[in-house]
Structure 1
Amino acid sequence: MNNAKEEVRARLNIEDVIGEYVHLKRAGRNLKGLSPFTDERTPSFMVSPEKQIWHDFSSGKGGDIFTFVMMVEGMDFRQALEHLARKAGVDLTLFSNGDGRTSKRRARAREALKLAANFYQQNLVKNSVALDYVVKKRRLNRQTIGDFLIGYAPDKGDALTKALEKKGFSKRELSDAGLTNRFGGDLFRGRMMVVLSDGSGEVVGFTGRIIRDDPRAPKYLNTPQTLLFDKSRYIFGLSQAKEAIRKNDTAVIVEGNLDVISSHQAGIKNVVATSGTAMTIQHLKSLSRLAGRIRLAFDGDRAGVNATERAINLAQEVGMELEVVSLPDGVKDPDELIQKDPNLWQMAIDKSQPAVDWVIARYAEMENLKSAEGKRRFSTIALRIVRSLKDPVEQEHYLSVISEKTGASITALKAKLSNEKVAEHQLKKTKVDKEKPQPVQDETEDILAGLAASEKSVRRWLAVISGEMLDGDSARQLIGYLRKNPDLELSEVPLDLQKIEQYVKIVQLKSESRYANWEQKSLDEEMARLVRQITIKHRENKKNQLLTQLREAEASGDEVLSQDLRQSLNNLIKEKM
């Protein structure tokens, strides 16, 4: 059932599920709200979208998406899994009886896709027409062809199907991989093939660009929805772009996959695409784990403006900064601009403007702002955007912009803004009785473990902490691992710590919440204080243990043992921190 659990977890965002029960507000990289388990007045319930975990400081509870639903709905694990599977659209019958049927089908689909990618690459080299199209018309170099695994699908009915059937694949397995059409033949024919890879670089599908114009065939053809490919979540080029996105704290989103490829070839690598689908909340949430800013390079026509307005609403929900990249007049897409001069594309990115400014300016161009009707229509649309903004200062700024464009007073605009009531989000009721917040327990070990996991610079202090000083098994295991691996980044939980994965993520979340704005010097001093506390506590426990043993030795008349214990006590008392 682990495969089912992971499939459900992959399809749902923890903040969306918890947000049905708790009003969550952005708090740095995390989200915060009032605990659903206690009657606290100050929010201490934290959710980490990045780690997909939650922790409630007021009750000491924490866990993942499944433990939360189990607690708020009073369900056991199986019930919570079924509840969340329905929400995620996962068919649990495919995972029944633990036979791993879906896992095997996914593995076979991955294998077929990998072989298909090799097949297409080999056919590109063999076909001079396809090679000319890729190298001369698309101007792609050898490095780019290799980076994006670009190939060619032969213009025959079943070339790939026959090749893979010879390797033991069935029609069903090729269909699972999204490689065949409804007649069982090749889905892709006569096309330049570009691999669609997941975040780790594994092939999950293809996009094919026809190389000979045919009015009966679509210019682009993508892999359909499969066991491996979910187009509502897929971001093209993410595996190649994620390091550049993280480094720049910015992701540039373009409309076409070939725009991404051209941009990467030009050295501008923090560029991705949504593969021909409308932008979704899942797209932005995936990117929010890498960067805090998104720049959109969409068309300036009405469709592009509408798409950007929808993106503004999504970005507000996720808590990301959104900007728009405008291309020079007469240039239809980034690929065309890059072919003219890659520097022009970089300049366009650098000159991006806030999305709200861009959308309001576009709508203003579409209306006659000298007429009452034009002012009414424009103000209605512009105020709709302002209403979606969560920051009151930002709202005030754009009210001034709209006032300047229409000549209407801010008082009149505020009146119009307030006339349209927006329904508040209704929270689901939990099935738990709220308790009083729990008194704070001694969490020194967890705090120290979390700080060491989050900050490599303080791990030198762990040299004085031995395993016997720690009471908790999880803290002992994590701290022992960090002592052996002082330079390791814990952005992902390593294999050796998988058994305590949830513990590792929760203590990291606690640490991020506690030390978010601390300077390096203060963190070092805090680590020294925590180590001192643990050392003092360990000495105190050891002293009490020796005293108990001494009383027992004296009561039994064992003078030799009593003398040894007195000596150990004296040595312990003389020890200095």
Structure 2
Amino acid sequence: MPPLRADDAVEQVRARLNLVDVARQHVPLRKQGREWVGLCPFHQEKTPSFAVNEQKQSWFCFGCQQGGDIFDFVQRIEKVDFPAALRMLADTAGVELPERAPGERRRSELRRRLIELNELAGKYYQYVLTSLPAGEPGRQLLQQREIEDDVATRFGLGYAPGGSGLSAYLRKRSLSAADAQQAGLVRRDGLDAFQQRLVVPIRDARGSILAFTGRTVLADEQRKYINTRETEVYSKSRVLFALDLARPVIEERGHAVLMEGQFDVITGHQRGVENAVASSGTSLSEDQVRLLRRYTDELVLVFDQDSAGRQATQRATELAARHGLHVRVARLPRAAKDPDEYLRSGGSWGETLAQARPGWEHWIREEIADLSPSRPADVEVAVARIHGVLARIPEPAVAESVRQEAAIWFGIDPKLLTAPAAQRKPGRASSQRPDGPNSSPVQPAGNDPASARPQADRLSGRLAHLLQVLAVRPDAARLVAEKLPLNEIEPDDREALVRVLDALSEGGVAALRRRLPDFPPEEQNLVWRAWAAAPPRCDDELVQELIERIAQAAASRRRSAIIGRLLEAERRGDEAAVEALSREYAVALSQRQA
């Protein structure tokens, strides 16, 4: 069967999936009348204000005033764009998407098979660790690392014994040996890729296993850690270890904690640092920063205390700043080589976090730590080192603030730190800052400040009420079109009303739902809100009342405008204009009386 067109695929997803089922994977819902209600997954609240209308397949939160359909929900909950949300939902619904290139279908199918193999391998390794005598070396290692059983289960830890046990396990299920090799699970000679190693799954943000890290249990093994090579599903620079577990806590606490090693993170989660993730020993990459940027705008770095860790901290500070992330650096006591050792020895993460310094401050203080302001030669070196750091700061305003503070940190006159002209980079970063992770997925269009005004400023209250009535009573559109003088109402009101009337005339509620993504955000929210919880009254009497009041308000504004022009004409002494405007006002007044 050929793949569907894009529009057809979207409709197929809508037809096959129920928003209630999708939403309930993330938030408990209970039936209340025609709606399902629960605590909003997008903001903190104690009283349920999140409503799902199963009939309309729409949701709305009366607390944060956000709403949408199944695609909007997945975009917000998964922090992805529409194409990614469509792919996720299509996979769930079993809908084949249009292919972007001739080989894309084959690659997509291969990715599905490799992830399936990884999931099975993860279950095999876990079973060996928890249930078989062969898993005893892994259990002993976890005991040495003080990893509790529930934490091991949460992270999916397992054990790979020697031999070809996994290969045989997969072969019994008639799974492809070639695919197992491509997934990095089995060697060409038929032996398992991981031998006598504690196995740590590497999962994506949704929890799918993409790869594994194997930690040896043998004292004489030179390669302490080995990783799955890069595959069709795994690229180490695009994955953050434990992000699937950490992301709700990152959003709750407002920051992520970035560590180097996987056991740093596992120990951290066990001891309350549940917003910790790891770059898995590799330098922080652009893709990893973008991934973090979906969930937070603040990053706390806590790397190893060696020279490589210090260099990694500096690189991460600069890279994160280029993407608009605020960085703090948590310093461990020199006696602790890494977060795992520090936390297991009883170190207080709360105290360490409280003492964390901003990234640029930490960097500069390290650069000048061995210098003294009382020695002229040291001052010259310090100025050069500070300038070197300042030149890396992408935001001019931040660089200027840090420049002044750096003078205080070192104890010299700020004038000594005036940047040479060659080092100044005007306008460096304003265009590089991405949108924040908690911003609405739909942004106001255009650069006109008016486009960013709240709903109360853009649309009149009565017009907003009328739009919500029309959303649930499309049959009232004809009455509105016949009775309401569109040319006399406010421009914003008129444009919003015309959009809704045009959609309803095209094909009722179905057409309105189809066109809704193209509406301004505040109008979208009005409709989603009405679909989540209809206005208390939607009868003809209310519609007629709203029409009359909107028309009266328009006529009142028209009369006020005439009076303003009339007074201006009198001030100028323009008798002809005064006479004409007087007649115009008399007509407007007679229409009101009529």
TM-score (norm 1): 0.60
1:314-334: CA deviation from partner (whole Å, max 9, x where unpaired): 222221210011112311122
Which entry has the higher C-alpha Rg, 1 or 2?
Answer: 2
> SS state of the match for residue 320, structure 2?
helix
1:291 lines up with 2:286 in the alignment = no
Partners of 2:264 and 2:295 lie apart in 1 by 21
- Residue 158 of structure 2 aligns with which residue? 151
Deviation track 1:33-60 (CA, whole Å, cap 9, x = no partner) reads xxxxxxxxxxxxxxx999777xxxxxxx
Distance in 2 of aligned mates of 1:320 and 1:135: 35
Q: Does 1:345 align with 2:375?
A: no
1:205 to 197, 211, 223: 211
2:202 aligned partner, one-letter code: L
Of 207-216 and 389-398, deviating more is 389-398
Q: 2:501 is matched with which residue: 471, 491, 499?
A: 471
Q: Distance in 1 between matches of 2:524 and 2:129?
A: 52
- Which residue of 235, 244, 262 corresponds with 2:240? 235
Cα distance between partner residues in 2 of 1:255 and 1:121: 24
Does the CA contact (< 8 Å) of 2:517 and 2:524 recur in 1? no
SS in 2 for 1:294: strand
> Within 2, Cα distance between the matches of 1:423 and 1:536?
54
Give the match for residue 139 of structure 2: 132
**Structure 1 residues 537, 508: closer, same or farther in 2, change over 3 A?**
farther
Aligned equivalent of 2:386: 382
Q: Distance in 2 between matches of 1:270 and 1:476?
A: 49
Residue 471 of structure 1: how far off its partner (Å):
3.0
Q: 3-state DSSP class of the match of 2:201?
A: strand
* Partner amino acid, structure 2, of 1:339: R
Change (3 A) 1:377 1:143: same
Is the alpha carbon distance of 1:99 and 1:263 closer, same or farther for their aligned partners in structure 2, counting shifts above 3 Å?
Answer: closer
Would you say 1:326 and 2:356 are equivalent positions?
A: no
Aligned-pair CA distance for 1:265: 1.5
Cα distance, 1:479 vs structure 2: 8.4
Match of 2:128? Answer: 123
Partner amino acid for 1:471? L
CA distance in 1, matches of 2:446, 2:364: 49
| C-alpha spacing 1:391/1:219, structure 2 compared with 1 (3 Å) | same
3-state SS in 1 of match to 2:369? helix
Does the 8 Å contact 2:301/2:327 carry over to 1? yes
Displacement of 1:534 in angstroms is 13
- Within-5 A mapping of 1:85-104: 96-97=101-102, 100-104=105-109
What is the alpha-carbon distance in structure 2 between the residues aligned to residue 443 and residue 339 of structure 1? 53
Task: Give the match's secondary structure for 2:334.
Answer: coil
* Aligned match of 2:251: 246
Mind listing any 5+ residue stretches in structure 1 that lack a counterpart?
6-47, 54-62, 66-93, 427-436, 452-457, 483-496, 513-523, 525-530, 541-572
Residue 180 of structure 1 corresponds to 186
1:368 CA drift (Å): 6.3
Give the counterpart letter for 2:351 in structure 1.
Answer: M
Q: Does the 8 Å contact 2:135/2:161 carry over to 1?
A: no
Q: What is the CA-CA distance between 1:422 and the residue it aligns to?
A: 4.8
Classify 1:324/1:98 alpha carbon distance in 2 versus 1 (closer, same or farther; 3 Å).
closer
Alignment match, 1:214: 220
Ranges in structure 2 where 5+ consecutive residues have no aligned partner = 7-74, 85-98, 430-444, 478-499, 526-534, 536-541, 552-590
In structure 1, C-alpha distance between the alignment counterparts of 2:218 and 2:505, rounded to whole Å? 62
Counterpart in the other structure of 2:362: 358
Rate the CA distance shift 1:286–1:128 in 2: closer, same or farther, 3 A. Answer: closer
The counterpart of 1:191, out of the listed 193, 197, 215, is 197
Q: Deviations over 1:80-105 (max 9, x none)?
A: xxxxxxxxxxxxxx975477211111
- C-alpha distance after superposition, 1:527-550 (max 9, x if no partner): xxxx9999649998xxxxxxxxxx
Q: By how many angstroms is 1:120 displaced?
A: 0.5
- Residue 396 (str. 1) matches residue 400 (str. 2): yes
What's 1:162 paired with?
168
Superposition pairs of residues 419-430 of structure 1, within 5 angstroms: 419-420=422-423, 422=425
Letter in 1 for 2:398: E
SS of the equivalent of 1:272 reads strand
* Matched letter for residue 335 of structure 2: G
Structure 2: how far apart are the matches of 1:2 and 1:385? 53
Q: Kindly provide the amino acid, as one letter, of the partner of residue 379 in structure 1.
A: V
Distance 1:508 1:159 in 2: 55
Residue 223 of structure 1 pairs with residue 228 of structure 2: yes
Percentage of identical aligned residues: 25
C-alpha deviations, 1:192-228, integer Å up to 9, x for none? Answer: 1111111111111111111122343x21112221111
Distance 1:243 1:438 in 2: 32
The amino acid that maps onto 1:361 is R
Q: 1:356 to 1:117 in 2, by over 3 A?
A: same
Distance 1:221 1:172 in 2: 21
Q: CA RMSD in A?
A: 4.8
Distance 1:182 1:355, change over 3 A: farther
- CA shift for structure 1 position 2: 8.3
Residue 243 of structure 1 aligns to a residue whose secondary structure is helix
Q: SS where residue 335 of structure 2 aligns? A: coil
Distance in 1 separating the partners of 2:161 and 2:147: 20
Contact kept? 2:258, 2:277, Cα under 8 Å: yes
Specify the code of the residue in structure 1 equivalent to 2:423.
Answer: E
Q: Distance in 1 between matches of 2:238 and 2:363?
A: 25
1:307 aligns with 2:312: yes
Partner AA of 1:100 in structure 2: R
* SS of match in other structure, 1:471: helix
Is 1:467–1:480's contact at 8 Å kept on the other side of the alignment? no
**What is the distance in 2 between the residues matched to 1:386 and 1:154?**
52
Whether contact under 8 Å (1:467, 1:476) holds in the other structure is no
SS at match of 1:323: strand
Secondary structure of 2:272 counterpart: coil
